Amino acid sequence: MPRMQIGFIGLGAMGLPMVRHLLGAGHDVTVASRSRPPIDAAIAAGARDGVDPGAVVAASDITLLCVPDSPDVVEVIDAALPALGAGKTVVDTSTIDPEVEREQHERVSATGASYLDAPLSGGSIGAERGTLTVMVGGEAAVLATARPALEPFAQLIVHAGGPGFGQIVKLCNQLVYAAQMLAVSEACALAVKEGVDLNVVHEVMTHATGDCNAIRTRIPFEGARPDTPASNGWKPGFMTALMAKDVDLVLRESARVGIAASSAELVQPVLAAAVEAGYGREDFSALGKIVRTRSNLP
């Protein structure tokens, strides 16, 4: 793999382990983030402090963004525009509004630079293990050039299509996963109410037609399975606040193109209630605590 000058902006639960994989692959990495501790951790791993987004882009051939929401991406692009031009590539791995993302494609392309939207699936565990799935929107030729900056933390890289298509595919994934989590929470609440052991539910459903990622990894009852967030202090693999944001994006995009999104309409208020209850920074399986409360379960 060729050694590359890579910038990375946004060292959160996903970004910092992704940077470690890039460094492990032998790339030169310059970083920036809003808080100091992850910058110091990245520097300790071998990265350089880029101070701010503009300086990171100036020092890098390919710059990856991994920030929470659409306004954050726009803010970074605003700061980076003076440093962009021919030979530069920006890859946004955040999950944001597809229309906002298409606007960033246009803004960056107008400078002569290249742009990809490349949202991720796999959560912080996938980032730590280097097994993320990356769904990419933009030109295939740009992706071919950028692949060495994605492969160190990715198990699968899929070219989804043109600008914004990566974001659309990610929202499709989030719609299904959030709906799974609500259904699993309600199924587990029903089982507990009836006195059924959740280990029995897990064994049956992982070998039956109800099998899904949520039943395998996120039964939302403490102690039911040892490797779930519920049994580990609700430590997030993916935060409730972020899933709530993503489902809001699903509803916005569905309304824009005129399709029904009934399952998103069902799960959105449950996620909102979980955020309101103070579970925003816990794993999104904490929406199961809302289901439990509404079911008069402890």
Active-site positions read 170
Closest listed residue to residue 106, CA positions, set 137, 150, 61? 137
Rounded Cα gap, residues 9 and 34, in angstroms: 9
Amino acid at 105: H
Outline where DSSP puts E strands in 172-289: none
- Tokens 């289901």 -> residue: 291
DSSP string, 130-184: T-EEEEEES-HHHHHHHGGGTGGGEEEEEEEESTTHHHHHHHHHHHHHHHHHHHH
Q: How far apart are the first and last CA of the chain?
A: 53
Residue 171 — φ and ψ, nearest 5°?
-65, -35
